[in-house]
């Protein structure tokens, strides 16, 4: 009798437990299905955006930049690297170019070469953006009667090599703020009112992939590029309805003088395009995406980088940059 009652109890208990388990299993299955559907949808959207941005423009016809934004473009930091290559891509599409950099001889040479090669008008302004407020009155005066359709805030500086914040000199701190942040603010402040008047224009701010997470040992460089990224995105929301397109370009390493000098990846390779290759991709995203790396291989890195937990990104950055710093210092001693 006692044994039968115990078996009955056990049976009952088992039925109760399996009933509630079924409920939990079903609930977990719903959560799992929801998660899978969300991940699949986000992957599909990412793939579509990547194709729309990096493949479709290459297949279809190019956007007529002159018609859409205007005849003239200003490109800062345009005698070398990305700035020069981007200026050439604009000129290839019939846009007249105003170059701004520090060195007059280099400006003359690049200006002449662009006008002869692409049969567009060119001009240049000599200016050093590390000099605080000094260069802007002259730039404003020089651009006064020009109808600027495109502004490319490309000028930027980097460290000699990745380093700890306290090792950086006061000069580097001020230069980084003036060249990487103030120049984009001031140039935009000079050019944007004219664009708003015409109700058309494009502003491209060259930020960096380092803005996708806080990057130790590139502390102020990364922070200055994050500033540009937020500045661009907020400005786009402010001005899009008035016909202005603002783009934040967030590339990873491009093989230029900047990366050579910093002792970082200097040679062109699968993930490190030349400035020319990068610019030819980046320009086809103008008018299509307000925030992009501008280059599909970098887009893969950015998507992965953004999804990493911050501590892994920071640990990895520290690991790589400590080695880079050590190599650069050893090189300096030799």
Ligand X SMILES: NC(=O)c1ccc[n+]([C@@H]2O[C@H](COP(=O)([O-])OP(=O)(O)OC[C@H]3O[C@@H](n4cnc5c(N)ncnc54)[C@H](OP(=O)(O)O)[C@@H]3O)[C@@H](O)[C@H]2O)c1
Q: What is the dihedral of CA 315, 319, 320, 323, to 10 degrees?
A: 160
Q: Does 222 bind ligand X (CB under 6 A)?
A: no
What is the distance between the alpha carbons of residues 324 and 330, in angstroms, rounded to a whole number?
10
What is the distance between the alpha carbons of residues 121 and 220, in angstroms, rounded to a whole number?
37
Give the range of 28-36, 47-55, 114-122, 255-263 binding ligand X by CB under 6 A: 255-263
Nearer to ligand X, 66 or 279 (CB): 279
Site size toward ligand X (CB under 6 A) is 30
Give the range of 30-38, 235-243, 248-256, 299-307 binding ligand X by CB under 6 A: 248-256
x/- map, 30-59, ligand X, by CB under 6 A = ------------------------------
Q: Does 79 bind ligand X (CB under 6 A)?
A: yes
Give the range of 19-27, 64-72, 74-82, 230-238 binding ligand X by CB under 6 A: 74-82
| Minimum distance, C-beta of residue 104 to ligand X, in the bound complex (Å) | 9
What is the distance between the alpha carbons of residues 207 and 152, in angstroms, rounded to a whole number?
11
Please pick, among 161, 221, 278, 295, the residue that the annotation labels catalytic.
221
Q: Does 205 bind ligand X (CB under 6 A)?
A: no
Rg (CA), the chain: 26
x/- map, 172-201, ligand X, by CB under 6 A = -------x----------------------
Q: Does 162 bind ligand X (CB under 6 A)?
A: no
| Minimum distance, C-beta of residue 138 to ligand X, in the bound complex (Å) | 13
What is the distance between the alpha carbons of residues 274 and 86, in angstroms, rounded to a whole number?
12
Q: Does 80 bind ligand X (CB under 6 A)?
A: yes
Q: Which helix (H) or strand (E) holds 192?
A: helix 183-198
Nearer to ligand X, 127 or 190 (CB): 127
DSSP conformation class of 95: -
Burial 272-294 (b: 16+ CB within 10 A, else e): bbbbbebbbbbbbbbebbbbbbb
What is the distance between the alpha carbons of residues 152 and 291, in angstroms, rounded to a whole number?
14
14 is catalytic: no
Near ligand X by CB under 6 A: residue from 206, 211, 244, 279: 206
Residue 265: count other Cβ atoms within 10 Å of its Cβ.
16
Task: Mention every residue, 6+ apart, whose C-beta is less than 8 A from residue 102.
Answer: 126, 127, 128
Q: Does 111 bind ligand X (CB under 6 A)?
A: no
- What is the C-alpha end-to-end distance of the chain, expressed in Å? 94
Give the range of 67-75, 122-130, 283-291, 326-334 binding ligand X by CB under 6 A: 122-130
Residue 73: count other Cβ atoms within 10 Å of its Cβ.
27
| Minimum distance, C-beta of residue 187 to ligand X, in the bound complex (Å) | 11
Near ligand X by CB under 6 A: residue from 50, 63, 157, 220: 157
By C-alpha distance, which of 134, 138, 142, 228 is closest to 188? 228
Catalytic residues: 221
Contacting positions for ligand X (CB under 6 A) = 77-83, 101-103, 106, 127-130, 154-157, 179, 206, 208, 251, 253-254, 256-259, 275
């Amino acid at each position: 009798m006692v044994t039968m009652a115990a078996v009955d109890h056990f049976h009952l208990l088992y039925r109760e437990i399996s009933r509630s388990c079924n409920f939990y299993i079903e609930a977990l299955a719903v959560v799992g299905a929801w998660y899978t559907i969300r991940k699949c949808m986000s992957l599909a959207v990412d793939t579509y955006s990547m194709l729309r941005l990096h493949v479709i423009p290459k297949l279809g016809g190019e956007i007529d930049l002159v018609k859409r934004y205007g005849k003239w473009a200003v490109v800062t930091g345009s005698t070398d690297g990305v700035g020069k290559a981007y200026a050439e891509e604009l000129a290839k599409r019939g846009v007249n170019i105003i170059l701004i950099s520090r060195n007059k001889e280099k400006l003359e040479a690049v200006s002449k070469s662009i006008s002869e090669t692409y049969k567009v008008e060119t001009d240049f302004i000599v200016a050093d953006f590390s000099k605080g407020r000094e260069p802007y009155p002259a730039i404003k005066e020089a651009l006064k009667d020009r109808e600027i359709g495109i502004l490319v805030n490309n000028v930027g500086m980097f460290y000699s090599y990745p380093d700890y914040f306290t090792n950086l000199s006061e000069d580097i701190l001020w230069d980084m703020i003036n060249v990487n942040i103030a120049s984009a603010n001031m140039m935009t402040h000079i050019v944007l009112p004219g664009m708003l008047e015409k109700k058309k224009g494009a502003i491209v701010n060259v930020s960096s992939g380092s803005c996708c997470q806080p990057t130790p040992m590139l502390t102020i460089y990364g922070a200055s590029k994050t500033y540009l990224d937020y500045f661009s995105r907020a400005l786009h929301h402010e001005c899009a309805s008035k016909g202005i397109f603002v783009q934040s370009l967030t590339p990873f390493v491009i093989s230029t003088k900047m990366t050579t000098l910093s002792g970082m990846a200097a040679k062109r390779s699968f993930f490190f395009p030349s400035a020319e290759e990068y610019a030819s991709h980046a320009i086809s995203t103008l008018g299509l995406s307000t925030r992009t790396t501008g280059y599909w291989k970098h887009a893969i890195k950015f998507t992965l980088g953004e999804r990493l937990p911050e501590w892994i990104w920071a640990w990895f950055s520290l690991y790589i940059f400590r080695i880079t710093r050590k190599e650069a210092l050893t090189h300096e001693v030799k």
